[in-house]
Structure 1
Amino acid sequence: MHLPLSGKKGLVIGVANETSIAYGCARAFRDAGADLALTYFDAKAEPFVRPLAEALSCPIILPCNVEKPGALDAVFDQIERDWGRLDFALHSIAFAPAADLHGRVTDCSPEGFARAMDISVHSFIRMAKRAEKLMDKGGALLSMSYYGAEKVVDHYNLMCPVKAALEATTRSLSAELSGSGIRVNSLSPGPIKTRAASGIAHFDALMEKAVAKAPSHRLTTIDEVGAMAAFLVSDSARSVTGDILYIDGGYHVID
């Protein structure tokens, strides 16, 4: 049986545990036939991530703290040694210091703003740069955004301008890398209860609002995000690039 991602090699950065959006994507990639390299943040996170990676038969499982010099390069060096190529990569990491995330954008510190931008946005640029030479026959890059990039969302605070920058970066990379046959898109799921989301104040209220407002009147699942991600990295989406793909039950179309 031919699967849409059979023979493709992919990298997934951002799995923290079984509720992670990145894990839903990784599972969908694997179910579609892809071989995966999967990273975990650090030794503390490894016991939560490694069993998931092993269940997906990932041949490459490595630590990757993008703030640590050389960590991202080590991942790509291993991929180059073992595979010699890469067909797609998913960037699903974001961070802002709690003091900056929980306060007004007006009051955020220069250090907090810079750190949030580095982890959440510039690391995607660094990933794209390393991926480019391994995608000599083309490929696909995905980032993970949120509706707060477009509208002010209560309690999302600093991450609103950060995600806006990520979406602008997605568009710029799509234009710059298209000549190499590399497509770049961003996924924008509705609110999903993940470990990362637990850092946002009043997140339960945000989920309740999404259920009430979205035409679907339900929350998005990590499997639904994964299905969209698998489509976007497949050859069926070869004309899709520079887009923000909403998986939010229509929430973004309602005022």
Structure 2
Amino acid sequence: MNDRAKSAPAGEAFDFLQLAGKTFLVLGVANKKSVAFAIARLIEQAGGQVIYSVRSESRRQSTAKLLADRDVRVCDVEDQSQIDALANQLAEEGVSLHGLVHAIAFADYPEGIRPFHETTRQQFLQAVDISAYSLINLCNALKDRFDPDASVVTIGISTTRMASESYGFMAPIKAALESSLAFLTKSFSRFSRVRFNAVAAGLLKTSASAGIPGYVDSYLYAERVIPRGQAVQTAEVAQTAVFLLSPRSSGITAQSIVVDAGMAINYFDAAVVQAVTDSEVR
């Protein structure tokens, strides 16, 4: 036990995460099931201040009750003028950001999930722009707003090497997102100690994921493969993200922390293999 913990008065909570009084920009809240909302709520519970950024005025209205009395901005990351406007607003207000949460992803499947080689240029480039390049663009626009020791956290996926048909073409997009962490860390190191990390999440039960064709079946399969028999919870991803935002993770940068409850070690679980082979026999 360290000296600070020993000297804390009886009944006084020990601020392990050291987020109290610090300001964080959180992008990507859509509803109460959003990973971004779970992260923001934990920051607030730890005494931090959250500035929320949503993609449109209609999204601000739809989350008005959920984010009542919060500071909510509008920024569509496909629109450079809106990114610049957000950066200018924060500069005019003298805001210093101790962290940024990038929980933004989008892929267009107008005809459902199709073979990867049929992905159109428009689909792929739009997904790259919103889901990966937006992190780079936002960090560049906000570089003067970051505290020297700020932490940037994005949301990845547990593996970008598995050709999951139910995820369409998003795995290569997420691979680009995660690869950019090393390059952002290196380029920002010329003038700051800002850190860039990702939480590489397993399959989650969110409103956005439920809209992906075939995702629900994959989610149910994940529950069978995960050793504990329960899928990854949004709260578990959020808790890891908040740790990465905190000074307690100061030695971690350019990393993707996998949060999959052990799914990757258990694909050949005997019960699952037996279920498949039995179905083949029948």
After TM superposition, the score normalised by the length of structure 2 is 0.83
The correspondence for 1:123, drawn from 98, 113, 134, is 134
Percent same amino acid at aligned positions?
26
Residue 30 of structure 1: CA displacement? 1.0
What is the identity, as a one-letter code, of the residue corresponding to 1:227?
Q
In the alignment, structure 1 segments of 5+ residues that lack a partner are none
1:45 aligns to what? 59
8 Å contact kept, 1:29–1:226: no
Give the alignment of 1:162-177 within 5 angstroms. Answer: 162-177=173-188
Cα separation, 1, equivalents of 2:206 and 2:147 = 35
What is the identity, as a one-letter code, of the residue corresponding to 2:55?
F
Q: In the alignment, is residue 25 of structure 1 matched against residue 33 of structure 2?
A: no
8 Å contact kept, 1:25–1:222: no
Cα separation, 2, equivalents of 1:101 and 1:160 = 16
SS in structure 1 opposite 2:166?
Answer: coil
* Alignment length (residue pairs): 252
Residue 68 of structure 1: CA displacement? 2.3
What is the identity, as a one-letter code, of the residue corresponding to 1:195?
S
Q: In the alignment, is residue 182 of structure 1 matched against residue 194 of structure 2?
A: yes
8 Å contact kept, 2:113–2:165: no
Give the alignment of 1:1-255 within 5 angstroms. Answer: 1=13, 3=15, 4-54=18-68, 57-58=69-70, 60-99=71-110, 102-179=113-190, 180-255=192-267
Q: After superposing the two structures, state which structure 1 stretch, 193-202 or 8-17, moved more.
A: 193-202
The higher radius of gyration belongs to 2
Q: After superposing the two structures, state which structure 1 stretch, 226-235 or 99-108, moved more.
A: 99-108
Cα separation, 1, equivalents of 2:266 and 2:92 = 48
After TM superposition, the score normalised by the length of structure 1 is 0.92
What do the CA deviations read for 1:164-204 (whole angstroms, capped 9, x no partner)?
11111122212222341010001112211212112311111
SS in structure 1 opposite 2:229?
Answer: coil
In the alignment, structure 2 segments of 5+ residues that lack a partner are 1-12, 268-282
The structure 1 segments of at least 4 consecutive aligned residues displaced by more than 4 Å after TM superposition are none
When the two chains are superposed, the root-mean-square deviation of aligned CA atoms in Å is: 1.8
Cα separation, 2, equivalents of 1:100 and 1:172 = 35
Residue 136 of structure 1: CA displacement? 4.4
